[in-house]
Structure 1
Amino acid sequence: MNIEDFRNYCLNKKGVTEGFLFDETTLVFKVGEKVFTITNIEMFESINVKCDPELAIELRERYTSVLPGYHMNKKHWNTIVVNSDMDDSEVKKWVDHSYQLVFDKLPKKIKDVLVD
């Protein structure tokens, strides 16, 4: 997976916006103003995704490419090293999971606007 494929995949989701929240190289994707994934555009080596805490541990045990979230709450975030032992379709699955976790926690009022 490359940065363009990752970016396009994220932007094709309903209500997603992108921006540089932290600095000029850390690309952040949000739904309803809540972050669901982060990556570095200069060195696209990994992505951070939100994850159900029990699944987060399972993934870390299953893949060497999955680590506790770098600079994030380690209980709720994983860092996935791209182009490693997790194939692209699996990476996309966990981007989807992260997006859905964040979307599900949004207030109904915001969800309704995003879905229309």
Structure 2
Amino acid sequence: MNKHTVTEYLLKKPYTSVSQPFGEGVDVFKVKDKMFATFSLGSGKEKGTNGKMAGHYCINLKCEPNEALALRDIFDAVIPGYHMNKKLWNTVILDGSMPQGEIERMIDNSYLLVVSKMTKKDREIISIQL
């Protein structure tokens, strides 16, 4: 997946918006003002990543703790969430090594995890659109 296809996929989710509250170059995707993804281009200077993000777009996604660990074991392109709670977030490095369907599944799960913590009213409004 490239920058365009990821952005397009994220924005197709109901009630999703994008902003740059952390500054230019870091897109933050929210569902009803709750963050479910961040998206940026890695510089290679990210502390603790051994340069793995250099020149690749990277997406932070929320994840269940046990699944987060399992995905890190399965895919080299999945690392603990950069600048995020490492228990609940993964960073996916879009280096071409992961199947598009798996990345989309991870995006879907992040979105649904955030929605599941919303009020019943908001969950119902969103579920009608899914």
Following the alignment from structure 1 to structure 2, what is the Cα–Cα distance between the partners of residues 5 and 84?
13
**Conservation of the 8 A alpha-carbon contact between 2:29 and 2:38:** yes
TM-score, normalization by structure 1: 0.91
Matched residue, 2:25:
25
Larger Rg: 2
The aligned residue for residue 76 of structure 1 is 88
- For the residues of structure 1 that align with 2:103 and 2:120, how far apart are their CA atoms? 28
Contact 2:20-2:28 within 8 A present in 1 as well: yes
* Aligned-pair Cα RMSD in Å: 1.7
Maintained 8 Å contact 2:3/2:57? no
Residue equivalent to 2:118: 106
Q: Alignment partner of 2:103: what SS?
A: helix
Q: Is the 8 A contact 1:20 1:27 kept in 2?
A: yes
Listed as ranges, the matches of 1:1-116 within 5 Å are: 1-40=1-40, 45-114=57-126, 115=128
Q: Which TM-score applies when normalising by structure 2? A: 0.82
- How far 1:110 sits from its partner (Å)? 2.4
Identity %: 37
- Residues matched between the structures, number: 116
8 Å CA contact 1:68–1:77 kept in 2: the answer is yes
What is the CA–CA distance in structure 1 between the aligned matches of 2:59 and 2:92, rounded to whole Å? 5
- State how far apart, in whole Å, the 1-side matches of 2:97 and 2:5 are: 18
Question: Residue type matched to 2:2 in 1?
Answer: N
Which consecutive unaligned segments of at least 5 residues does structure 1 have?
Answer: none
Tell me how far apart the structure 1 counterparts of residues 88 and 3 of structure 2 sit (CA, whole Å). 23
Which of the pair has the greater relative contact order for Cα pairs under 8 Å at 6+ separation?
1
